[in-house]
């Protein structure tokens, strides 16, 4: 099985609007379909009926993992805003890890 969860959030209509995140996941989907023979996709964007909320992303992970066995290929791609959290192991000059 080759299955992917692709999340692209442009934050359309907000003051945090981005312009390429949905394009990113469309390009990843094309790559996975064309070059890696993926045929099963879970896609969450500002434009899909199921929005990329925390709850829906976690449900997407559950669906991605359901029935997976050793040897399957599973792919996750997120494009959108990130955040910073405290660097717990001291390997970042900024004292923050990106997430």
pLDDT tens-place string over residues 54-83:
999 999 999 999 999 999 999 999 999 988
The pLDDT of residue 55 is 97
**Residue 68 contacts by C-beta under 8 Å, 6 or more apart in sequence?**
1, 3, 74
The pLDDT of residue 98 is 85
pLDDT band at 99 (very low <50, low <70, confident <90, very high): confident
Encoding tokens for residue 48? 């899909």
The rounded radius of gyration (Å) of the Cα atoms in the chain is 15
- Closest by Cα among 23, 80, 32 to 57: 80
Average pLDDT value for the chain: 95
- pTM confidence score: 0.85
């Amino acid at each position: 099985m080759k299955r992917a969860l692709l999340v692209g959030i442009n934050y359309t209509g907000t003051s945090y609007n981005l312009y390429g995140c949905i394009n990113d996941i469309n390009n990843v989907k094309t790559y996975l379909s064309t070059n890696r023979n993926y045929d099963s996709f879970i896609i969450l964007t500002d434009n899909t009926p199921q929005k990329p909320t925390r709850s829906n992303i976690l449900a997407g992970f559950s669906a991605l993992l359901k029935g997976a066995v050793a040897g399957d290929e599973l792919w996750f791609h997120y494009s959108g805003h990130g955040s910073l959290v405290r660097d717990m192991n001291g390997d970042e000059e900024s004292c923050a890890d990106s997430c």
